[in-house]
Structure 1
Amino acid sequence: MGTDGNSRAAVARPTIRMNLETYERAKFWAGRDAEAAGTPPNFNDFVTAAVENEIARRSGVEIDADHILAGRINQMADAMKSMESQLDAMGAMVRTTFTTLIELARGDSILTDELDDKDSEFGVGS
């Protein structure tokens, strides 16, 4: 790595290798960023910003809060939906259990009661 002269701020000039697909994608995004800023495309500035962003992300200095927050909100919404369906199932189970217990306490049972004409499978009562 070399550095520029003393008249300018010290700048390292590393040589990097990347696969062709990554290089093309980086050139594309460098062009998009430059187009949005109204400046000519500068691949070096894009790579420098990408490296700085990755270092900040890994060191915990800069956190992509929007992405993390959206993921957490989606996770909580899914958990609430799951809890809602579980609560509905438990409510139905409790209602069925109490109904069965009340019928047993009264002496009612679908197994021992005689069939009415309307309840008979063949329409013939006892």
Structure 2
Amino acid sequence: MLPGQTFTISEAAEMTGLSIDTLRYYEKIGLVVSPKRGPGGQRMYGSEDVGKIQFVTYLKRTNMPLKKIIAYVQSYNQQDEDSCYALLDEHRSSIESKLTELNTTLQLIRYKLEHFQEIKDGKEKGGNL
């Protein structure tokens, strides 16, 4: 993306992986600032708009609640760095905790898979468990 470059709503949707309806909904609830309008009132997203939408998408994918994402966006728009930092730091902590839980579960699954592979190999070699 080049600075000053603009995109239609369908292009922005494709670039962010969101649907056109989702982009409109995000605009309606204040999650995304209403973009500039082109000829005929067509939404024209700038590179910065698309970048912000992508970041919101990342936060959503990491299960940040929509209310907290909205609070972050509002704080960002008000240039309240302390609030932005606090919201992101809290979310980072939540993600790290979930990653720890997932890694523990992954280790257990790997152990079980090895166990079942040993059983499977034993059966193939004459049934020794």
Flag the structure with higher helix content: 2
User: Please, what TM-score do these two structures have when normalized by structure 1?
Assistant: 0.35
User: Please, what TM-score do these two structures have when normalized by structure 2?
Assistant: 0.34
Larger Rg: 1
Flag the structure with higher strand content: 2
Q: Which has the higher contact order (CA 8 A, sep 6+)?
A: 2
